[in-house]
Amino acid sequence: MKRTHNCNELRPEHIGQTAILCGWVHSRRDLGGVIFIDVRDREGRTQTVFDPSDLTSDVFAQASGLRGESVVRVTGRVRARPEGTRNPKIPTGEVEVLARELEVLNLAEPLPFQIDEPEAAARVNEEMRLQYRYLDLRRPEMARNLRLRHKVATAARVYFDEQGFLEVETPLLFKSTPEGAREFIVPNRREPGTFYALPQSPQQFKQILMVAGVERYYQLARCFRDEDQRADRQLEFTQIDVEMSFVERADIYAMVEGLLKRLWKVALDLEIATPFPQISFAEAMDRFGIDKPDTRFGMELCDLTAEFRGSTFKVFSGAVASGGVVKALNAKGLADATQGQIETMTGIAKSFGAKGLAFIKVEGGEWKSPIVKFFTDANKAALQRLLAIEEGDLILFAADSWLNACEILGKIRLYAADVLKSTGRLSLPPDRFDFLWVIDFPLLSFDKENNRWYSSHHPFTAPVPEDLPLLRTDPRKVRGQHYDCVVNGVELGGGSIRIHRPEIQKTVFEDILQIPSDVARARFGYLLEAFQYGAPPHGGIALGFDRLLAILCGTPSIRDVIAFPKTAKGTCLMTQSPAAVDPKQLRELRLELKVPPKE
């Protein structure tokens, strides 16, 4: 037998038994006469004792020559630790294994970085951790993340099974659909010059599955997007992909709320409140300046357009005169913002095309600002009332088009919150989760540069039924049946009720998005055709599984919840991918490089 117990199993009731433990040498304490070796496996650790009076000299010599993280098999008798030497820090601390035999299964070289001391190990450069990922994953935090990921995935599958969903796998070798994210393409050896593409999401397949009568589909689906990366974005990632037939928006909300309630219970033993509040896109922008608001703190945006319509301060009145708005937010307690912080905020405003950023510092009982001299007493009273101004506050203004003003202040709101957090003046409880649905997004947005409409979400999103007549007359006003699920300012996922009638889908492709009909047919013909043979009304959602895990694990980076993530440049430091391929492989594919081949 290779082993009889794991390293988190032995208790006083095992005393007297012979145990065989296998695992890694977590730490070795050589006292000269006696050697203690903590053997660790994924369940925990157990102290083994090597006492020369009970051992052959070569076993003792072997034990004294072990290095940390070597893999061993220890056979011995379980016994109670002597009085006063018990270790209450570990569950097996009441007992120890008096070793009789030691088998060194793999002697480890000195490690490139230490993993036995959690605080030191957590600070190791990520480059090093990624190169030696197998060592990094031995750390308890990372092992916990892997285990939690498994637990959450399993809980999701159980939930979907209970709800009558089928998990259906969809192809990874798909075809290019140039709308949306840049794709990874895969050359087809059988017909040189043609290519597969890896899916950005299984969107079209899951809709086809609805036409196929599956009714309730889900998949923990791997997706690929060849875009630049972030802490919360990888080239390949996993989404909980769902589609349902014969549903309206409320059915999707209830299904997702039930799922998240289950997952939060399983992962964190927390009861989250459902149903989630719903907020329209317009209200989210108006109050928080962003379509994924973090509602755990206030500092909401305030509209002052009416107050400054006739102001002698031309920057404000001018903005109103040209159809814009004046908005402000109160960054509570930030009157002591440094020059650099003010410059950062001004930079945010300028990045949206504003000329500058007006602000008021409330210090020493007075409003310090170059623009206060333009304010009437009525202006000041309105500010005081609407923004609840107190000593130590910092008031920031944006006078611009509605969307721009909202976005500027939305960014500044988050920046101000970060500053307040880093100085300990704003703290958010780690077990607080503000879920909400953002709804009523505009179906379409207008691209000024290319003078055309494009889908805010994707071209399969159904319009809100009562807005359907506006599609040809006033596209800007058409709301989509699209919804985003947001928690603590993070977009967890989004979806929509889809178009299931071929003539409406055709109108969106050809008349609204201006995709020529032959192109639309080449790209989406099979979908339009499928819709002609009995397509049920349907809708769905996709939740970012990695982001969800990052939130549950309390880490800012999804790399911490992915076993083998890629770097910001898309490389794998452990396997050194991507790499050059053999010229023979290129010849087979009829591909020729225009850059010198890399070694």
Partner RNA sequence: GGGGGUGUAGCUCAAUCGGUUAGAGCGCUGCCCUGUCACGGCAGAGGUUACGGGUUCGAGCCCCGCCACUCCCGCCA
Residues lying near RNA in the complex (CB under 7 A) are found at: 27, 29-34, 36, 38, 47, 49, 51-53, 67-68, 81-82, 84-87, 89-90, 93, 96, 110-114, 117, 120, 123-128, 130, 177, 179-182, 200-201, 203, 225, 227-233, 351, 454-459, 557, 559, 567-569, 571, 573
Q: How far is the CB of 3 from RNA (least distance, A)?
A: 21
Sequence-separated (6 or more) residues with CB below 8 Å from residue 589: 187, 189, 192
Task: Using alpha carbons, select from 507, 227, 281 the residue that is nearest to residue 406.
Answer: 281
Q: How far is the CB of 204 from RNA (least distance, A)?
A: 7
Q: How far is the CB of 331 from RNA (least distance, A)?
A: 19
Token digits for 193?
A: 């010059």
Cβ-in-10-Å burial (0-12, 13-18, 19+) of 306 comes to: exposed
Helix and strand tally (H, E) in the chain?
18, 22
Q: Which residues pair with 455 in a beta bridge?
A: 444
Q: How far is the CB of 223 from RNA (least distance, A)?
A: 9
Map residue 265 onto helix, strand or coil. Answer: helix
Pairing type for strands 35-41 and 44-50 reads: antiparallel
Q: Give the DSSP letter of residue 478.
A: P
Measured from the CB atom, is 113 or 196 closer to RNA? 113
Q: How far is the CB of 359 from RNA (least distance, A)?
A: 21
Map residue 549 onto helix, strand or coil. Answer: helix
Q: How far is the CB of 453 from RNA (least distance, A)?
A: 11
Looking up tokens 């959690």, which residue turns up?
118
Q: How far is the CB of 435 from RNA (least distance, A)?
A: 21
Task: Using alpha carbons, select from 542, 579, 588, 593 the residue that is nearest to residue 220.
Answer: 542
Looking up tokens 């225009």, which residue turns up?
594
Measured from the CB atom, is 415 or 435 closer to RNA? 415
Q: How far is the CB of 306 from RNA (least distance, A)?
A: 30
Q: How far is the CB of 361 from RNA (least distance, A)?
A: 25
Measured from the CB atom, is 227 or 390 closer to RNA? 227
What is the torsional sign of CA 83, 84, 85, 87? positive
Sequence-separated (6 or more) residues with CB below 8 Å from residue 128: 112, 113
Measured from the CB atom, is 43 or 303 closer to RNA? 43
**CA-CA distance, 117 to 139, in Å (whole number)?**
9
Q: How far is the CB of 531 from RNA (least distance, A)?
A: 16
Measured from the CB atom, is 174 or 437 closer to RNA? 174
The amino acid occupying position 410 is: G
Measured from the CB atom, is 177 or 278 closer to RNA? 177
Measured from the CB atom, is 209 or 326 closer to RNA? 209
Task: Using alpha carbons, select from 452, 367, 354 the residue that is nearest to residue 407.
Answer: 354
Measured from the CB atom, is 63 or 552 closer to RNA? 63
Q: How far is the CB of 433 from RNA (least distance, A)?
A: 20
Measured from the CB atom, is 179 or 215 closer to RNA? 179
Measured from the CB atom, is 93 or 392 closer to RNA? 93
Strand intervals (E) in 554-598:
none
Token digits for 311?
A: 């102001």
Q: How far is the CB of 427 from RNA (least distance, A)?
A: 20
Q: Give the DSSP letter of residue 262.
A: H
Map residue 97 onto helix, strand or coil. Answer: strand
Measured from the CB atom, is 38 or 434 closer to RNA? 38
Looking up tokens 């006078």, which residue turns up?
399
Q: How far is the CB of 27 from RNA (least distance, A)?
A: 4
Task: Using alpha carbons, select from 101, 31, 106, 40 the residue that is nearest to residue 67.
Answer: 106
Q: Which residues pair with 355 in a beta bridge?
A: none
Pairing type for strands 444-447 and 435-439 reads: unpaired
Measured from the CB atom, is 201 or 346 closer to RNA? 201
CB 91, CB 45: distance < 8 Å: no
Token digits for 505?
A: 């889908």
Measured from the CB atom, is 330 or 455 closer to RNA? 455
Sequence-separated (6 or more) residues with CB below 8 Å from residue 487: 433, 434, 435, 436, 551
CB 316, CB 356: distance < 8 Å: no
CB 26, CB 39: distance < 8 Å: yes
Q: How far is the CB of 141 from RNA (least distance, A)?
A: 15
**CA-CA distance, 553 to 217, in Å (whole number)?**
27
Question: Cα 436 to chain center, whole Å?
Answer: 16
